Structure 1
Amino acid sequence: MQAPDSSTQFFYDWLDLSESEQQDAIARLQVEQPDLYQEVLPLLTASAATSLHQVLAHHALAWAADSADYSQQLIDKYQLHDEIGRGGIGIVYAATRADNTYEQQLAVKLIQPHIIEQLGQRALFAEAQILARLNHPGIAKVYDGGLFHDQVYIVMEYIHGPTLDSYLQQQELTRQDKLRLFIRICQAVEHAHDHQVLHADLKPANILISSGDQPKLIDFNLTQKFKPQSAQLHDSSLLAFSNQYASPEQKQGEYLTQQSDVYSLGKILHAVFPTPKAGSDLACIIAKATESDTGQRYLSVGDLRHDVEHLLALRPISLRQHLPFYLLKRLVQRRPFYCLLLSLLLASATSFTIAVIEKNRQLSAEKKISDNMLFELTQLLFHSKNSLEQPLSIDAMLEITRRRILSNPDIPQHIKQKMLLALLTPTPPKQHNRPTAQPATPNQP
């Protein structure tokens, strides 16, 4: 048993222990935390009282010994069959209609008398009426209700299927299938919240999976909104819930809001994914949903569902919307083909732009070289024109050209080499026309 943070937490943890473990826990608490021991002592003392003991025994499923067996009995127009389940509120039997109007398999829950004594029949019927107005494929339908020997009963839809935890063990579901299943559970809870109804006892055992992998919520906590009529009992004594999935405020017996169901859903999500990768979106969602501080928790089930839907669709979750690199990563994961195509287009456009820039640079350089060569030729002709009285020899002109080429910094080195090589190429010798010898003319006599 872990060190408790409050008297209420210790009390509910203490209820789950065996008798010997309870004695050891009380003795250890008295020594290690005497102040907390003084706070919890009234609860321990009151638990010995008959009425409170009976109510808490219901919560611990230990009231079987003094519960009447209604198997095979007729209650109004419903024929009960075998018992199919027990909870903190009552016993559930499989049933069918006994008036032969039509065949229908049902489930009948008999509320325990001690719960009725504390809450009153009218309050229970009012809450059952609210549940009857819930019409959602993810919520077990409430059809009818009534009194039998001063005992309230509620007639509900009979669900064929395993509980959520059994279903997960039996089926090899993919990660996507599990997320879709959890989203459908959230949608059912949202529907109840839209009608101002809390479940207040969400746990895998209260979620059945029917045909078509449709989750069904059962066992809404009918005591969630009521205070016991007896002044001897505290509100928390009637809160039937699972300690593992209940929110901190529910364990403390505080007023419940939708965020209490959010916490339980976060615990269920953790049960579906027991080992989420540290730092992953899934781990962040679970941590956000199960925050002890309600101010840091998701405000509604819709907010939780929204992030789980985004996780399934590889979209950014609300907790990381401010991270640019994360947003880009999610975009690539969601649209890999389009992102690859876009990357190729960007790479092609970049390469084309670089090629165009390089080509323009080459053209500019060639134009500059051409201008320089034209300038050199112009200068050479200018020198030749000014030297008409003393004409320049070919060798002199070539020498002047060679010097000007070497001294011009704007001509690239490889162009200079080609031009100088051309200047060094020997010119073919000129063919001098020799006078043709005239044949000797014979002497005239």
Structure 2
Amino acid sequence: MKVMNSDHWKKIEDIVDELLKLSEAERSQRARDLCGQDIALLNEVLDFLNVMDQSDDAILSLKKSKHIIAKSVVREIEQERDASYFIGKEIQNYQIVKHLETGGMGAVFLAERCDGTFQKQVAIKILKREFANPTISERFKQERQILANLTHPGIAKLYDGGMFEGLPYIIMEYVEGEQINKYCNLEKLSVKQRLKLFGKVLDVVDFAHRNLIIHRDLKPENILVNYRGDVKILDFGIARIEKLSVQETDRPDGFHFLTPQFASPEQLQKKEINTLSDIYSLGILLNQLLIDVSLFDIEGLSIKEILENKTSYYPKQPSEKYNHLPEQTKLDIAANRGQAPGNLIRELKNDLDCIVLKAIQPEPTSRYESAKAFKEDLERREKHLAIMARQDEPIYRTNKFLMRNRSYLFVALLLMIVLSSTAFVTISGIYAERDRALYEMKKAEEVTQFLMGLFDDANPVEQNDIEVSASSILELGINRIDTVQDPEIRHQLFMVMGNAFHKLSEYENSLNAFNHALKESKEFFGSDHINTADVYYAIGNVEVTFFNWHLAVPPLRSAFEIYEEQLAEDNLKLIRTMSRLGRSLYNFGERDLGIIFSEKAYQQISEEMLPETSLEIMDDYAIYLMNNEQIEDGIEVLHAKVNYILEHFDDENYKLVGPYNRLALAYRQIEEFETAITYYKKALQISESVYGIEHLTTDRIRRNMFGSLAALDLHEELEKQFHIAIETTRNRFSENHWRTGQIYGTFGLYRMERNNYADAMKYLQLRQDIYVETLGANHEWTVGAFSHLVAVHIFSESAQADSLLTEHKKMIRSHQPEIHSQILRSLNHVIGIYENKEGDYSKIIDKYSTFLPAE
């Protein structure tokens, strides 16, 4: 123990006495002059004043003055000695190498092992002088031991602690990662993904609570997420040391270490707290992950006003708070969650609103009783069960039942469609043909038994509680239709399920069902029957969706030939098929015939037509005009279509999605990009609202918008839309699906246009790898896409450029003499890229041009 000599003691006493002779305004500067940078001396002055704090009442007024002076000196000296002072210092066997951050309790540094035994990085938190009290130091040792025993993969470890130059320090695990709120936005996590991540936080907090440890300062800064999506909570239990600090703090209200936004009312009131205080902070955190903004407007308020705000006024629900934000803010927040503002509001309303508000109840006993209960309520919401945060009202319970069983209800709706059609035939048949009526009754009974059997086989109880989707029930139905004996019923079921898959944008399954229907129709009705023509049209229509013109033309031509032979010229089926066939022929290369069909179909639109048929024909004709470089005429037809829809339907009807998207494409072609973006956003808003963010139509509109955003240099918005597109496509399909590859390719081309060849090469290579794996190395899409990968290697002067170009030419030759139209389109596109780039690429252009058909 160090013995203080009389000279040193007198120095301390003289400093304090001299300070007391001065006015308060003069004392701080004089104290700095007298103490200089001697931190040890300052510690001894402070210890002396602490002893005086325990003296009798006669010196109460003196002790208060000395204590205030000492803390003022400490504060001002520490402010002068900034974080850089500690860089290079050694604490135990660690050398401080970098300042990470400064918070309410102290500064945090990165340190590295420096004794040569092994390599290790740690975080060292050097606490403020308020914690240098001898009583606190003793309690601090006890806290360190408790926290050191708190072992969980989601909790940053506490290794050791002690005193350094009179300041307490803690050595902790160094965690690399982003704050949880920033991570969610950077990764564009959906609400569902955010809730899953928040569930990990609840697991960690529940573990600590079961070990009788309260965090006391849960906020985004103390919750990090690494690149793998693992959660790590920092400073667990360290805030408990705040209770051990001296009563007088720098702040007049006595709250030096709290984060008011996340602090519970009982913390603000300085009451004894328990685990329910952490539940409150978690509720505030969940709200921030959902909408990015606080439910309480507390900026600039005192602690007393914040407390009143949190206890006297009922906060807005998250959905309501979000809905009252400025429009651009709402758009930005929704985009970071991969959805439209309207969809986000619908997702927040009711259950999530109630869950957040239950967690942040002013009265602790009204909150969730534990972090586990909090998580269980979120899980109940995900399963569409009634949550604890809501009253168990009959209507609410009914809605939950409907949501849980929506897959069954969807198939039940198909059942109703089938039964209603057979019932109509049955009733009509009673008067026309009794035998036919009896057959229809028997057929309706078989259809009923078949579809009800799907419910039994897809029962979640029998399937070990695996979530059953509408698509999976329909797939089960496809596999079971062969058990139906009657071929007419089999045909009818295949058509119903094919159309249902088409509505779900499950195009591969839709084609599978229609091909089965075609086989049944040919065998039962005959190859030239109207029912067979209906199937041909359905197959061709699906292929048009894929832009597979070479696959769309044959079935559409077959349907047209049957209809033309057996139906009147003004029959809707014939006119509709003529229009769709004209569009396909034009794109397939039979332009003259395509023009004849398209124009004839458009001329036969009449008032007597059903709106759906008229709109399909107008759409096909507008596309034909734009493909034929009659852009202005195409725009005129599309505006006529929009006006027609607005006259017959409302302004948010799903029928507006197609013409709005096509208008955007048309305006992009004539380089009116701002107008194009206006129509893209209209189409996108309706599509997201009606179909959902992951629907193929929504995805296509979003990707179409990329080019116009790039043309106007709206690169930040483009990046945002790209991340939404890639995330939704991954969720709907998979990382290795060809649709995911399409989006990578689109973004790679955008990067190439901006001369960012490294990124372009990465994304185009991703597309190529996915196409090879899913479509095959010789598929027309794979061969066409390879031209862009070759281009980026040539532009970046890659060593592989020549060999890749040679390989690509071999791939094209393997498709001769009839090179697929998709490959030709890709060659024309890449030739245009070479022509617009600075430099001489004439040899490459000439080589590719040899594969193009002579004009």
1:179 aligns with 2:198: no
Matches within 5 A, 1:219-258: 219-220=235-236, 222-224=238-240, 227-228=243-244, 237=254, 240-258=257-275
1:292 aligns with 2:373: no
Aligned residues of 2:130 and 2:246 also touching (Cα < 8 A): no
CA distance in structure 1 between the aligned counterparts of 2:269 and 2:73, rounded to whole angstroms:
20
1:195 aligns with 2:214: no
Q: Partner amino acid for 1:326?
A: Y
Three-state SS of the structure 1 residue aligned to 2:95 is strand
Structure number with higher helix proportion? 2
Change over 3 Å in CA distance of 1:54–1:191 after alignment to 2: farther
Q: State the match for 2:392 in structure 1.
A: 322
Cα offset for 1:118? 7.0
Match of residue 49, structure 1, among 68, 88, 102? 68
Which of 172-181 and 299-308 deviates more? 299-308
Question: Which consecutive residues of structure 1, in runs of 5 or more, have no partner in the other structure?
Answer: 1-44, 356-445
Q: Partner amino acid for 1:264?
A: S
Aligned residues of 2:198 and 2:286 also touching (Cα < 8 A): yes
Cα offset for 1:235? 13
Q: Partner amino acid for 2:97?
A: H
Three-state SS of the structure 1 residue aligned to 2:176 is coil
CA distance in structure 1 between the aligned counterparts of 2:194 and 2:188, rounded to whole angstroms:
10
Q: State the match for 1:73 in structure 2.
A: 89
The aligned length equals 305
Change over 3 Å in CA distance of 1:341–1:168 after alignment to 2: closer
CA distance in structure 2 between the aligned counterparts of 1:53 and 1:346, rounded to whole angstroms:
80
CA distance in structure 1 between the aligned counterparts of 2:109 and 2:140, rounded to whole angstroms:
19
Matches within 5 A, 1:20-419: 49-50=68-69, 64-66=79-81, 69-117=85-133, 120-220=136-236, 222-224=238-240, 227-228=243-244, 237=254, 240-274=257-291, 275-276=318-319, 277=345, 279-320=349-390, 322-340=392-410
CA distance in structure 2 between the aligned counterparts of 1:219 and 1:54, rounded to whole angstroms:
28
Change over 3 Å in CA distance of 1:51–1:263 after alignment to 2: farther
Q: Partner amino acid for 1:247?
A: S
Cα offset for 1:202? 0.9
Cα offset for 1:49? 2.8
Which of 340-349 and 211-220 deviates more? 340-349
Cα offset for 1:346? 11
Three-state SS of the structure 1 residue aligned to 2:196 is helix
Q: State the match for 1:377 in structure 2.
A: none
CA distance in structure 1 between the aligned counterparts of 2:165 and 2:78, rounded to whole angstroms:
19
CA distance in structure 2 between the aligned counterparts of 1:231 and 1:249, rounded to whole angstroms:
17
Aligned residues of 1:206 and 1:217 also touching (Cα < 8 A): yes
Aligned residues of 1:246 and 1:264 also touching (Cα < 8 A): yes
Which of 142-151 and 243-252 deviates more? 142-151
CA distance in structure 2 between the aligned counterparts of 1:325 and 1:209, rounded to whole angstroms:
39
Change over 3 Å in CA distance of 1:63–1:345 after alignment to 2: farther
Change over 3 Å in CA distance of 1:141–1:337 after alignment to 2: same
Change over 3 Å in CA distance of 1:166–1:232 after alignment to 2: closer
Measured against aligned partners, the alpha-carbon deviations of 1:353-401 in whole angstroms (never above 9, x if no partner) come to xx9xxxxxxxxxxxxxxxxxxxxxxxxxxxxxxxxxxxxxxxxxxxxxx
Cα offset for 1:328? 3.3
CA distance in structure 1 between the aligned counterparts of 2:97 and 2:384, rounded to whole angstroms:
48
Change over 3 Å in CA distance of 1:227–1:263 after alignment to 2: closer
CA distance in structure 2 between the aligned counterparts of 1:119 and 1:281, rounded to whole angstroms:
48
Aligned residues of 1:111 and 1:152 also touching (Cα < 8 A): yes
Cα offset for 1:223? 4.6
Cα offset for 1:186? 1.1
CA distance in structure 1 between the aligned counterparts of 2:253 and 2:372, rounded to whole angstroms:
28
Q: Partner amino acid for 1:250?
A: Q
Aligned residues of 2:262 and 2:285 also touching (Cα < 8 A): yes
Q: State the match for 1:358 in structure 2.
A: none
Measured against aligned partners, the alpha-carbon deviations of 1:299-338 in whole angstroms (never above 9, x if no partner) come to 2222212112222333321133622332332233234224
Question: Which consecutive residues of structure 2, in runs of 5 or more, have no partner in the other structure?
Answer: 1-63, 292-317, 320-344, 427-855
Cα offset for 1:296? 1.9
Three-state SS of the structure 1 residue aligned to 2:133 is helix
Root-mean-square deviation over aligned CA pairs? 3.6
Change over 3 Å in CA distance of 1:52–1:298 after alignment to 2: farther
Change over 3 Å in CA distance of 1:125–1:316 after alignment to 2: same
Q: Partner amino acid for 1:137?
A: P
Q: Partner amino acid for 1:301?
A: A
CA distance in structure 1 between the aligned counterparts of 2:355 and 2:71, rounded to whole angstroms:
38
Change over 3 Å in CA distance of 1:232–1:74 after alignment to 2: closer
CA distance in structure 1 between the aligned counterparts of 2:247 and 2:171, rounded to whole angstroms:
31
Q: Partner amino acid for 1:312?
A: E
Three-state SS of the structure 2 residue aligned to 1:255 is coil
Aligned residues of 2:110 and 2:121 also touching (Cα < 8 A): yes
Q: Partner amino acid for 2:80?
A: A
CA distance in structure 1 between the aligned counterparts of 2:236 and 2:72, rounded to whole angstroms:
22
Cα offset for 1:261? 0.5
Cα offset for 1:258? 0.8
CA distance in structure 2 between the aligned counterparts of 1:289 and 1:52, rounded to whole angstroms:
38
CA distance in structure 2 between the aligned counterparts of 1:161 and 1:117, rounded to whole angstroms:
34
Cα offset for 1:158? 1.0
CA distance in structure 1 between the aligned counterparts of 2:355 and 2:72, rounded to whole angstroms:
39
Among all aligned residue pairs of Structure 1 and Structure 2, give the percentage whose two residues are the same amino acid.
31
Measured against aligned partners, the alpha-carbon deviations of 1:50-76 in whole angstroms (never above 9, x if no partner) come to 467699x79xxx964355621121111
CA distance in structure 1 between the aligned counterparts of 2:151 and 2:253, rounded to whole angstroms:
30
Change over 3 Å in CA distance of 1:288–1:107 after alignment to 2: same
Three-state SS of the structure 2 residue aligned to 1:178 is helix
CA distance in structure 1 between the aligned counterparts of 2:258 and 2:246, rounded to whole angstroms:
20
Q: Partner amino acid for 1:72?
A: G
Question: What is the TM-score with the length of structure 1 in the denominator?
Answer: 0.60
Change over 3 Å in CA distance of 1:111–1:49 after alignment to 2: same
Change over 3 Å in CA distance of 1:211–1:51 after alignment to 2: farther
Measured against aligned partners, the alpha-carbon deviations of 1:150-198 in whole angstroms (never above 9, x if no partner) come to 4332221111111123223322111111001111111111111111111
Structure number with higher strand proportion? 1
Which of 334-343 and 207-216 deviates more? 334-343
Question: Which stretches of structure 1, 4 residues or more, deviate above 4 A after TM superposition?
Answer: 50-55, 225-236, 339-349
